[in-house]
A = this chain, B = another copy of it.
Amino acid sequence: MFSLHPTLESDTCEITVLPLSCVLLMKDKGFPWLILVPKIEGVREIHALTPDDRALLIEEVSLASLILTKLFAPAKINVGALGNIVPQLHVHVIARFENDRAWPGPVWGNGPGDPYSEAELASIVSRLQDAFNRA
């Protein structure tokens, strides 16, 4: 049985479900920021996945990266699997810009997020869902 860690659940909203991973949007309008969570209970590290699941994971990371690039034209995509605070394996895929609040540093540990308004959140969720549906 798979369930999301409560912190991931409260900080994000769901965009779609891919063969391996749930795709979540971080509710921080400072960055177009996706989080992929493999739907496998109890996994903390990439090396604990099977090789087949690792191959799927990196294809799903790549798809998320490509979608963020097409929609937002960022300067760089940042990909990270940290998990020092939230142990459930999750991979961040983040569109970065030279004028974002953390550039050129990492986004993690960069203070509280900047919340979307309800309309902004509905709009970005819908654009992302359309892009994943068309992929």
Contact A65-B45, Cβ < 8 Å, known A84-B103, A108-B105 = yes
Closest chain B CB from A40 CB (angstroms): 15
Main DSSP-derived SS at the A contact region: mixed
How far apart are the CA atoms of A11 and B83 in the complex, in Å?
A: 25
Q: Which of B66, B69, B84, B105 contacts A109 (CB 8 A)?
A: B105
Interface residue A78 (Cβ < 8 Å from any Cβ of B): yes
Closest chain B CB from A86 CB (angstroms): 10
Closest chain B CB from A50 CB (angstroms): 10
Given A49-B62, A78-B82, A79-B80, 4 extra CB contacts under 8 A: A47-B62, A47-B65, A76-B84, A84-B96
